[in-house]
Structure 1
Amino acid sequence: MNLNRNSLLIGAIAIAAAAGFAAWQWSQRNGEPPGIAIANGRIEAEEIDVATKIPGRVREILVEEGDFVERDSILVRLDAAELAAALARAEAELRRAEQAVIQAEAQVNLRVSQCALATKNYERTKQLFDSGHSTAERLDIQRTEKEVAEAACQAARAELGNARELVASMTAEVQRLKAQLEETEITAPRAARVLYRLAEPGEVLPAGGRIVTLIDPTYVFMTVFLPTGEAGRLAIGAEARIVLDAVPEITIPARVSFVASRAQFTPRQVETEDERAKLMFRVKLKIDSLLLEQYKERVKTGLPGVAYIDIAGERNWPAFLEQSLIN
């Protein structure tokens, strides 16, 4: 009987020891090591909404959701028929305006010559009048012709100025239409992946109408929330580790790139120490762009995971985070 009791006691001690060891292992992997903050979050990437700059009808969309696109590659073409016709009219008007400038310049040269001749005739007649060899009537006629020629010269110069202004205006109009015509081909602002296709061929969109949404697979981050005690000790640039639920065997290195200056969750009245401890601050953990460039084909947004953040700056990482770290 005593032997059975002793056997049961030894078995209970063994079970308790095994359970204690298992609990210790779990705490080493899932607990919160000294100086390390732990928080949950989701992987996010910078999103870029590509929209029309001018209103128009979508003629064709050259990408599908999930496609990778290079910088300046064409994503969408809008119908450009009306703009092309308007540009042709504006270019014709510009050519006519340039011809008008040539004619106005010739008219100015003619009026300047006539003005010079009228001035010489007037001065010659005045000399004759002063010497008593011409009449006052003749002098008045020459003076009038001189004034008429000067007025005609001024009018010709004004007409030339108007013609040049018209050329400048039509040149600006041609440039504006050419710029709008270029806007009918909408390009990718950077190398990215197509996340959403928001329009289809045939749709008429206003200026600013969104067509596709891109994500930059080299600008990926996780947003987490930390309480006051941890956020207050956190430094920009502090190291972090991210473990995704989908691939728990891999640890992704990251760094703190942003800490909110205001709490996100605030009680109505913050009076006691316990209430202040409930304040949560948003923190952004950015993954290195060079690392993401190597794995951009596998980058997926929305994946949940756990972030481990070195708030003490001591790099006291648990072994399982270092062993599975990718670089």
Structure 2
Amino acid sequence: MRTEKRLHQLIGVAAALLILLAAGCKDKIHEGNTSQETRPIVKANTAVAEIVKQPEIYEASGTIQPRTAAVLSAKVMGEIKKILVREGDVVKAGDLLIKIEDSQIAAQLRQAEAALAEANQAAQAAQAGFEAAQASMSLAQKTFDRYESLLKNDSVSLQEYDEVKGKHEQATGALAQAKSMRDASHNKIEQVKAALEAARTTYQDTSITAPYDATVTGKMVNLGDMAAPGVPLLKLEDTGSYEVYMVLPESYIRYVSVGDKLSVVVPSLQSASFDAIIKTINPAADPTIRSFQLKAGLPDVPQIRAGMFARVMIPVGETEIILIPDTALVHHGQLTGAYIVDAEKITHFRLVRTGRVFDTQVEVLSGINKGDVYITHVDEKTVDGAQVEEI
């Protein structure tokens, strides 16, 4: 009996609460069948829901990389004597970054320079000898020509003619030898110059310099380490000049071309958006993922860093959707809705499911159909079951 009495009491309390709740909500939400005399009046603008064509966007995941990057490696073997930069340092083209031990290479360079000086002296001597041989040859030729003419007139003896002829032949041989020595000295100079140039290049290779204005992003060696040809020393990036790398499924590749403009969003920069221009499209797809690699150039933005994640918006055709202004939406906790206006200008609250946001416009996935009339700007006076007066 006590249990039964207790149950009746609980039922009574519940009924009382329901009555109070209904009374409290009466002034807030008006049923659609409320009589015309008791309906509140709402002044508002309305619009007709229409289907619009909107670009279909494929969101690709991208990685930001420097447009120009280089790994500087050693070309000579030697101990690293100086490291003049640290990671993060900004350098100019031609700045000295690392110095490798050069004493032995410097000695070889001095030897090559001395060899060139010696070769130049030898060439000068050979040239002087050649010029002297030319003078002797000229005199011998004139004497020989004169004696040859005198011999025809029997003005000189045959013995005298033979002596002059012999001197002419000696001068001819001496000139040929002098010319050969001169040519050899010139060839020697070219050989020594080549050796000197090689020595200079090797000496220059002991100084690692920046090939362009850049930022040091990696240091792979320490002071005292042994450098060797091919061993990486530093990594440089041309900061301020970046590109975004992404892949696009083969089904969408027909929608893009070199020179197209894309929108790039970088979440780590508070979702900042930048315009990017497609620079290259790999002509061959990756057969493992059936996608093409694209590369798009970014504007010079100081905050951008290599390795950042980016979302790339790629237009891939058009789609038909319903868009309404965000001011037409009402949010109640996890629920979103809008006020539909019927033919009698009565408001009806309807739950809607939204999709993408385009500036101040919101995509409606369900809840509003083409031709529905809705209130474009909802305020605190807008309620269900109200009579709408157009502003």
Band of TM-score, shorter chain: 0.7 to 0.9
Quote the offset at 1:147 in angstroms: 0.7
The one-letter amino acid of 1:285's match is A
Give the structure-1-normalised TM-score. 0.73
Is the radius of gyration larger for structure 1 or structure 2?
A: 2
Choose from 36, 49, 52 the match for 2:57. 36
Q: Which runs of 5+ in 1 are unaligned?
A: 15-32, 268-278, 322-327
Q: 2:171 — aligned with what?
A: 149
**1:37 partner letter:** Y
Alignment of 1:13-92 (within 5 A): 34-46=55-67, 47-92=69-114
- Return closer, same or farther for 1:313/1:253 CA change in 2, 3 Å cut-off: farther
1:318 maps to which of 339, 358, 361: 358
| Alignment of 1:225 onto 2:247 | yes
Q: Specify every segment of 5 or more residues in structure 2 that has no aligned partner in the other structure, as ranges.
A: 1-14, 30-53, 320-355, 362-391
Q: 1:137: which partner in 2?
A: 159
1:184 aligns to what? 206
**Matches of 1:227 and 1:118 in 2, distance apart?**
89
Which of 281, 296, 307 is matched with 2:292 structurally? 281
| 2:256 is the counterpart of 1:245 | no
User: Deviation of residue 197 (structure 1)?
Assistant: 0.8
Alpha-carbon distance, 1:266 to partner: 4.4
What secondary structure does 2:312 align onto? strand
CA distance in 2, matches of 1:69, 1:153: 60
Of the structure 1 ranges 118-127 and 188-197, higher mean CA displacement relative to structure 2 is found in: 118-127
Q: CA deviation at 1:163?
A: 1.3
The letter for the 1-side match of 2:195 is E
1:216-271 Cα distance to aligned partner (Å, 9 max, x none): 2223233222323333212333333333333334223323333332322547xxxx
After the TM superposition, which segments of 4 or more aligned residues of structure 1 sit over 6 Å from their partners?
5-8
**Greater alpha carbon shift after TM alignment, 191-200 vs 215-224:** 215-224
Query: Is this contact kept in 1: 2:55–2:315, CA < 8 A?
Result: no
| Letter of the 1:306 counterpart | R
TM-score normalized with structure 2 length: 0.62
Cα 1:64–1:124 shift into 2, 3 Å = same
Deviation at 1:201, TM superposition (A): 3.0
Alignment-mate amino acid for residue 249 of structure 2:
P
Query: Please, what is the CA RMSD of the aligned residues?
Result: 3.4
Using the TM superposition, give the Cα deviation of residue 312 of structure 1 relative to its aligned residue in structure 2, in angstroms: 4.6
Secondary structure at the aligned position of 1:218 is classed as coil
Considering fraction of residues, name the structure with more helix. Answer: 1
Q: Percent identity?
A: 22
SS in structure 1 at match of 2:172: helix
CA contact (8 A) 1:66 1:195 kept: yes
Whichever structure has more strand as a proportion of its residues is: 2
